[in-house]
């Protein structure tokens, strides 16, 4: 095995030997990412209704199911309806602090069981949560961003925000409000640049997931089939008051 | 500047040996449009078959001979998209180490036109004033379409021709499977690509498939004839030239 | 493909594919569908052409400072607690993974689709060492059960019909499954779900790696990429050094064009950005993250004629439009990467000798370049490659002599005229009804499937005198 220095030295030699094919630079990045991200957010304070409309269209095109409610208090009944439709009993969710609502009282009142993710945990807690997430039929999360041009939900992992909540259950439900709406991938780029320009903090997990509809495959005769490994259904609940 | 437009015909090797009637049709057509046509002697081939097989030094030798043949030509008209592409796009690059020849090659490249482009873009003759009877479809030659970016001129010329019903060929922009030496290096693959093309030609309902490249014509005519099809493969010039005596 | 199979000449492998009627049906169906989906996707994406230009520029710019970006990527991965390994060859990459397996007592590995691991035949190496690799992409799973190789970069089991998959599942998984993609997919889901939950290690490739942030980017539709990076206690990502890009801003251009080129989707279902192992405070994610940066023949192409092939995103668009691929499918090529780009990648990874015949498996129609999201000039590089074969004397002597003689004829008009005269004499016994249908020798290669017009009684040059 080569060391890093040897490996890179060889590449450097090749790069020096090679005339570039044409003058080229990477895409221009925001000079002050935090300010650029602020500018994007400001833009969206006016433009979110258009973005929401586009999100709905695109989300429907990828077989997402869209709901709109007035306040967080209305969310449990949407989840209850989905559960009835699916004949589901077990629900798992992000930590209530991360989700912005404690679903337990209302869901338990409907006869549903809820396992909320712990904020922190050791190996045992991980194993326990995995078992719960694998057993649950519905996983409820927030969404850090909702990207209109593709109907994409963007979720960041972190304390109280496990990766598997949106992955193992057959139905994924994501809750978000207007401040989460973005129009373009380009804006997502700005936001991610800003995020990475911040100092590392304990709140940041290792994973950002872009989720665009339910899991799908076309590997057998190009026949579209849903729910290969991930969820078979994805619901988005837009909350006006958020 | 006044006086008639002058053009030199670069007939190409396939045109010279297998399709002399295409050259004859071009001469008739251009003269009908008032062009003074000449034919520089001692032409052979543009060198494309050598170039595409990777024999670039040899292709350069051929180009070095071809360039001065057309040194005095005002315009050079080529009946094949691929040969026109070779002269226009590849000749200059063959002489990277010889600036003077490179300049000459570039000058020739600028003066060289594939036939349909010459008619429409130089002569402004999108109507040639002849007629042709029948249902016709057009096959895009790869080098003319993707190499020279031309898909409209031949269609315009055909569409404007009296008596012609132009129908679109399904998969018109797909290769016919010729590919020069490819056609004999992998003959089975080449003919199986051809079979698809022929099926599409027949599906179009046309009596005649038109192309602007001798290579595609050799391939498609060969396939149609082997199949005993009644559809004919013709060069654009043969359709546009009109009857023998104006 | 096994060495045994590779001993069959390419033309015979291609011939066998042409005679395989179910393969022919599958290929036509799939490639036609992909072509249509891609076309539609770009038709409704006005900024697509600009994004393609930008993506191409990013790839070129990255190559111009490749050592710098790889170094930055490695620094960031290590800062996040990941381990970086530098593998000059495919064998070194395999050995590294086996070493990690031994040290961490790994028994089973779940894999998401990765051409890089196909390229180094990692599964064979793992099996040999007593580790069980399980492919989890449905297409890859199918071909793993069938003990075959992928035949398309993004649709590995494109050559299999639903009936064949049903038979395969019924036999290997011991059941009676109908030829219904929905049912078969559900069977695979159930089977593989258990494997995900039990596996010790997850192995992925990387569609991209962002140097600035140390992020590995995985693009999947099924969600297996997420499973593999979330559930096992170790995550190993194997990536070719050509996959690094500078920044998140750059990444967005690629996300806009990758899925559109591959499947016609605006974006794939899952784009997963992974930075290192589980981060502090996180409940889930692997304890360990290893990034294997693999050269395996790539670096020496930076300064070669094949440089542009290092831009490749592995979207498979060039396969779908290639008239040759559409006739013969992926297996006939004989190596990991099929299609027009595959010829270049094979030359890159296996050396020019491996593509002696493959270099000519293209009519140079240019359809590949037209659809390539980063506009790789594949036809030009195939021509360059052919030039190398002559220069390196890999092309057969007879061919080289033939072409050099041909050049002599073309530069000597008298010889050219003589050839026409000889042709006319020689063809005489064979002309039937104004055409040639059954020529001997090398000419049979033409007339076996097509007619040939005879050399004209009078060439155009000879007729010009009376036209003057």
Confidence bin at A10 (pLDDT 50/70/90): very high
Answer whether A229 sits within 8 Å of C74, measured CB to CB. Answer: no
Q: Identify the pLDDT of residue C380.
A: 97
Same domain, C315 and C411: no
Do C324 and C292 belong together in one domain? no
Q: What is the pLDDT of residue A64?
A: 98
Residue recorded with tokens 């046309």: B206
Residue C399: CB partners within 8 Å, gap ≥ 6? none
Higher pLDDT, A199 or B111: B111
Domain boundary residue among C362, C391, C420?
C391
The mean pLDDT value for A221-233 works out to 94
Per the domain annotation, does C34 fall within a domain?
no
CATH of B6-121, one of 1.10.10, 3.40.50, 1.25.40, 3.90.550: 3.40.50
Nearest-angstrom CA–CA distance, B224 and C304:
43
pLDDT of B243 reads 75
Q: Structure tokens of A153?
A: 């939900």
The answer to whether the CB atoms of C270 and A14 lie below 8 A apart is no
Mean pLDDT score of chain C: 95
Domain residue spans of chain B: 6-121, 127-240
DSSP string, A150-184: TTEEEEE-BTTB-SGGGTSSSEEEEEE-GGGEE--
Structure letter (DSSP) for residue B82: H
Q: In 10 A of CB C3, how many CB atoms?
A: 7
What pLDDT is stored for residue B3 in this prediction?
80
Query: Count of alpha carbons within 13 Å of C379, Cβ hemisphere only?
Result: 19
Using an 8 Å Cβ cutoff, are C151 and C329 in contact? yes
Shortest alpha-carbon distance between residue A87 and chain C (Å): 19
Chain A residues whose CB is inside 8 A of the C70 CB are 8, 11
Residue C147 has pLDDT above 60, yes or no: yes
Q: Report how far residue C125's alpha carbon sits from residue C132's, in angstroms, rounded to the nearest whole number.
A: 10
Which of B9, B21, B51, B53 would best serve as a mutation to test chain C binding (most C beta carbons within 10 A)?
B53
Instruction: Identify whether the C-beta of residue A26 lies closer than 8 Å to the C-beta of residue C62.
Output: yes
Range of the domain at C122: 45-296
* Helical residues (DSSP H) of C199-285, grouped into ranges: 224-230, 248-262
**Nearest CA among B146, B230, B79, B100 for reference residue C378:** B146
Q: What CATH architecture does domain B127-240 belong to?
A: 3-Layer(aba) Sandwich (3.40)
What CATH number is attached to the domain comprising C215? Answer: 3.40.50.10420
Mutation choice for A interface testing from C282, C311, C319 by most A CBs within 10 A: C282
Q: Can you tell me which residue has the tokens 């072409």?
A: C403
* Bridge partner residues of C184 (DSSP): none
Spatial separation of the C-alpha atoms in residues A128 and B101, rounded to whole Å = 77
Name the 3-class secondary structure at C453. coil
User: What are the tens digits of pLDDT across the range C205-252?
Assistant: 999 999 999 999 999 999 999 999 999 999 999 999 999 999 999 999
Q: Are residues C115 and C257 in the same domain?
A: yes
pTM of the model: 0.95
Does residue C244 sit in the same domain as residue C339? no
Residue C197 and residue C150 share a domain: yes
Residue B3 has φ and ψ, to the nearest 5°, of: 90, 165
Of B16, B41, B51, Cβ closest to residue C459:
B16
Same domain, C275 and C340: no
Asked if the structure places residue C24 within a domain, the reply is no
Any chains having at least 3 CB pairs less than 8 A from chain C are A, B
**Average pLDDT score over residue span A12-22:** 95
Same domain flag for C324 and C275: no
**C434 pLDDT more than 50:** yes
Q: How far is A79 from chain C (nearest CA, A)?
A: 23
Interval B201-224: pLDDT, tens:
999 999 999 999 999 999 999 999
Q: Span C168-172, mean pLDDT?
A: 96
Dihedral class, residue C175 (left if φ above 0, else alpha if ψ from -120 to 50, else beta): beta
Phi/psi of residue C210, each to 5°? -95, 115
C27: in domain: no
For residue C153, the model assigns a pLDDT of 85
Chain C residues near residue A119 by CB distance under 8 angstroms? 281
**8 Å CB contact between B120 and B192:** no
Give the mutation candidate from B35, B139, B192 for the C interface (greatest C CB count, under 10 A): B192
Q: Who among B41, B177, B218 is closest to C323 (CB)?
A: B177
Query: A26 and C87: CB-CB below 8 Å?
Result: no
Q: Does C193 touch chain A (CB under 8 A)?
A: yes
In a domain? residue C290: yes
Are B146 and C459 an interchain contact pair (Cβ–Cβ within 8 Å)? Answer: no
- What residue ranges in chain B does DSSP mark as E strands? 6-9, 36-38, 76-78, 112-114, 131-138, 162-167, 208-211, 232-235
Is beta strand A207-211 parallel, antiparallel or unpaired with respect to A152-156? antiparallel
Q: How confident is the model at residue C108 (pLDDT cuts 50, 70, 90)?
A: very high
Assess whether C197 and C56 both reside in one domain.
yes
Number of neighbouring beta carbons within 10 Å of residue C5: 12
Residue C394 at interface with chain A, using a CB cutoff of 8 Å: no
pLDDT, residue A203, reads 61
The domain boundary, picked from C274, C296, C318, lies at C296
Range with the poorest average pLDDT among B200-209, C82-91, C145-154, C417-426: C145-154
Q: Do C302 and A18 lie within an 8 Å CB cutoff? A: yes
Measure Cα distances from B240 to B82, B157, B197, C110, C270 in Å.
Answer: 20, 8, 23, 64, 55
Q: What does the pLDDT look like over A119-134, one tens digit per residue?
A: 888 889 999 999 999 9
CATH class of segment(s) A28-239: alpha beta
Distance from CA of A90 to the nearest CA of C (A): 18
Mean predicted confidence (pLDDT) in C264-271: 98
Q: Both C317 and C435 in a single domain?
A: no
User: Is the pLDDT confidence value at A115 over 90?
Assistant: yes
Q: Which of C57, C68, C217, C231 is nearest to C136 (CA)?
A: C231
**Coil, strand, or helix at residue A84?**
helix
Q: Residue B46: which pLDDT band, with cuts at 50, 70 and 90?
A: very high
Tell me the per-residue pLDDT of C374-396, one tens digit each, with 9 for 90 and over: 999 999 999 999 999 999 999 99
Query: What's residue C5's pLDDT?
Result: 66
Instruction: Identify the pLDDT of residue A83.
Output: 97
Q: Provide the pLDDT for residue C3.
A: 58
Distance CA C136, CA C144 (A): 10
Q: What is the spatial distance between Cα C315 and Cα C358, in angstroms, rounded to a whole number?
A: 20
Interface touch C323/B49, C-beta < 8 Å: no
**Per-residue pLDDT at C1 exceeds 60:** no
* Selected residue of C9, C363, C444, C446 to mutate for chain B interface (largest B Cβ count, 10 A): C363
Which of the four pLDDT bands, split at 50, 70 and 90, describes residue B246?
Answer: very low
Let me know whether C232 and C133 are in one domain: yes
- Report residue B19 as tokens: 């399709």
Q: Is the pLDDT of residue C268 over 90?
A: yes
- Running DSSP on this structure, what letter comes out for residue C411? T
Cα distances (Å, whole numbers) of residue B190 to B83, B221, C107, C142, C329: 20, 14, 48, 31, 14
Q: Quote the percentage of chain A above a pLDDT of 90.
A: 93
C327 in any annotated domain: yes
| Domains of chain C: total | 3
Rounded CA gap, C441 and B24, in Å? 32
* Residue extents of the structural domains in chain A: 28-239
Burial A96-123 (b: 16+ CB within 10 A, else e): bebbebbbbebbeeeebebbbbbbebee
Residues 293-332 of C with CB under 8 A from B: 323-324, 326-328
Q: Under a CB-based contact definition with an 8 Å cutoff, are residues B167 and B206 in contact?
A: yes
For position A201, what pLDDT does the model report? Answer: 66
Name the domain boundary from C391, C410, C439. C391
Is residue C315 located within the same domain as residue C285?
no
Parallel/antiparallel/unpaired status of strands B6-9 and C201-204: unpaired
């Amino acid at each position: 095995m080569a060391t890093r220095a040897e490996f890179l030295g060889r590449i450097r030699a090749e790069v020096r030997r090679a005339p570039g094919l044409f003058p080229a630079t990477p895409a221009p990045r925001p000079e002050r990412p935090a300010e650029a991200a602020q500018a994007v957010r400001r833009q969206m304070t006016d433009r979110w209704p258009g973005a929401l409309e586009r999100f709905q269209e695109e989300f429907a095109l990828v077989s997402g199911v869209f709901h709109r409610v007035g306040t967080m208090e209305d969310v449990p009944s949407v989840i209850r309806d989905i559960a009835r439709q699916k004949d589901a009993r077990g629900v798992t969710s992000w930590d209530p602090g991360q989700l912005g609502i404690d679903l337990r009282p209302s869901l338990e009142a409907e006869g549903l069981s809820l396992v909320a993710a712990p904020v922190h945990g050791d190996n045992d807690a991980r194993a326990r949560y995995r078992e719960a997430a694998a057993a649950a039929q519905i996983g409820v999360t927030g969404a850090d961003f909702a990207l209109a041009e593709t109907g994409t939900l963007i979720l960041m992992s972190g304390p109280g925000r496990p990766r598997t909540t949106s992955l193992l259950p057959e139905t994924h439900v994501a809750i978000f409000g207007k401040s989460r709406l973005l129009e373009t991938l380009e804006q997502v780029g700005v936001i991610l640049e800003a995020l990475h320009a911040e100092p590392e903090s304990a709140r940041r997990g290792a994973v950002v997931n872009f989720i665009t509809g339910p899991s799908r495959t076309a590997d057998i005769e190009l026949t579209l089939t849903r729910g290969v490994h991930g969820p078979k259904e994805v619901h988005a609940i837009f909350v006006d008051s958020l | 500047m006044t006086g008639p437009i002058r053009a030199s015909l670069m007939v190409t090797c396939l045109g010279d040996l297998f399709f002399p009637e295409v050259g004859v049709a071009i001469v008739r057509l251009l003269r009908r449009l008032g062009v003074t046509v000449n034919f520089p002697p001692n032409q052979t081939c543009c060198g494309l078959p050598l170039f595409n097989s990777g024999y670039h030094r040899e292709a350069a030798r051929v180009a070095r001979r071809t360039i001065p043949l057309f040194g005095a030509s005002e315009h050079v008209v080529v009946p094949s998209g691929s040969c026109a592409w070779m002269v226009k796009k590849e000749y200059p690059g063959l002489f990277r180490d010889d600036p003077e020849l490179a300049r000459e090659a570039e000058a020739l490249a600028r003066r060289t036109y594939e036939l349909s482009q010459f008619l429409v873009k130089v002569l402004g003759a999108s109507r040639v004033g002849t007629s042709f009877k029948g249902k016709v479809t057009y096959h895009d030659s790869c080098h003319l379409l993707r190499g020279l970016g031309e898909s409209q001129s031949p269609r315009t010329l055909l569409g404007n021709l009296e008596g012609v019903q132009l129908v679109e060929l399904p998969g018109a922009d797909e290769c016919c499977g010729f590919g020069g030496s490819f056609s004999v290096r992998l003959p089975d693959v080449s003919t199986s690509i051809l079979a698809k093309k022929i099926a599409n030609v027949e599906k179009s309902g046309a009596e005649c498939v038109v192309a602007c490249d001798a290579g595609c014509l050799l391939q498609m005519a060969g396939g149609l004839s082997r199949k005993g099809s009644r559809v004919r493969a013709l060069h654009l010039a043969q359709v546009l030239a009109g009857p023998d005596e104006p | 493909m096994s060495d045994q199979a590779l001993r069959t000449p390419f033309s015979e492998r291609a011939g066998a594919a042409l005679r395989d009627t179910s393969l022919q049906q599958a290929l036509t169906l799939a490639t036609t569908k992909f072509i249509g989906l891609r076309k539609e996707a770009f038709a409704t994406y006005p900024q697509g052409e600009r994004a393609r230009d930008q993506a191409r520029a990013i790839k070129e710019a990255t190559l111009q400072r490749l050592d710098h970006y790889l170094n930055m990527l490695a620094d960031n991965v290590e800062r996040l607690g990941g381990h970086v390994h530098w593998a000059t060859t495919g064998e070194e990459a395999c050995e590294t993974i086996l070493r990690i397996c031994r040290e961490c007592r790994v028994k089973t590995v779940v894999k998401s689709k990765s051409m890089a691991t196909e390229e180094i035949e990692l599964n064979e190496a793992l099996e040999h060492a007593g580790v069980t690799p399980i492919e989890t992409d449905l297409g890859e799973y199918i071909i793993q059960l069938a003990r075959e190789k992928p035949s398309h970069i993004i649709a590995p089991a494109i050559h299999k019909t639903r009936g064949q998959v049903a038979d395969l599942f019924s036999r290997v998984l011991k059941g009676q499954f109908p030829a219904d993609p929905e049912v078969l997919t559900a069977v695979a889901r159930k089977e593989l779900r258990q494997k995900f939950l039990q596996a010790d290690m997850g192995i992925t490739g990387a569609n991209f790696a962002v140097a600035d942030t140390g992020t590995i980017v995985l693009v999947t539709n099924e969600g297996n990429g997420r499973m593999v990076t979330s559930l096992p206690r170790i995550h190993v990502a194997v990536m070719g050094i050509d996959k690094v890009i500078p920044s998140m801003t750059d990444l967005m251009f690629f996300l806009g064009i990758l899925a559109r080129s591959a499947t016609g989707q605006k974006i794939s279902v899952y784009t997963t950005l992974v930075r290192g192992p589980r981060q502090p405070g996180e409940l889930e994610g692997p304890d360990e993250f290893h990034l294997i940066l693999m050269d395996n023949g790539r670096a020496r192409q930076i300064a070669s004629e094949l440089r542009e092939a290092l831009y490749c995103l592995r979207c498979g668009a060039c396969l779908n439009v290639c008239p040759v691929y559409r006739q013969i499918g992926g297996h006939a090529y004989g190596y990991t990467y099929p299609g027009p780009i595959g010829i270049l990648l094979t030359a890159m990874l296996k050396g020019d000798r491996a593509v002696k015949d493959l270099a000519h498996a293209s009519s140079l129609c240019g359809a590949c370049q037209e659809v390539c999201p980063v506009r790789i000039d594949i036809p030009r590089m195939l021509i360059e490659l052919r030039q190398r074969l002559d220069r390196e004397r890999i092309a057969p002597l007879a061919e080289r002599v033939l072409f050099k003689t041909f050049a002599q004829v073309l530069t000597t008009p008298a010889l050219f005229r003589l050839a026409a005269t000889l042709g006319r004499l020689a063809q005489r016994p064979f002309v039937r009804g104004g055409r040639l249908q059954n020529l001997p020798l090398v000419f049979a290669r033409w007339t076996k499937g097509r007619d040939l017009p005879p050399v004209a009684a009078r060439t155009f040059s000879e007729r010009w005198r009376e036209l003057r």
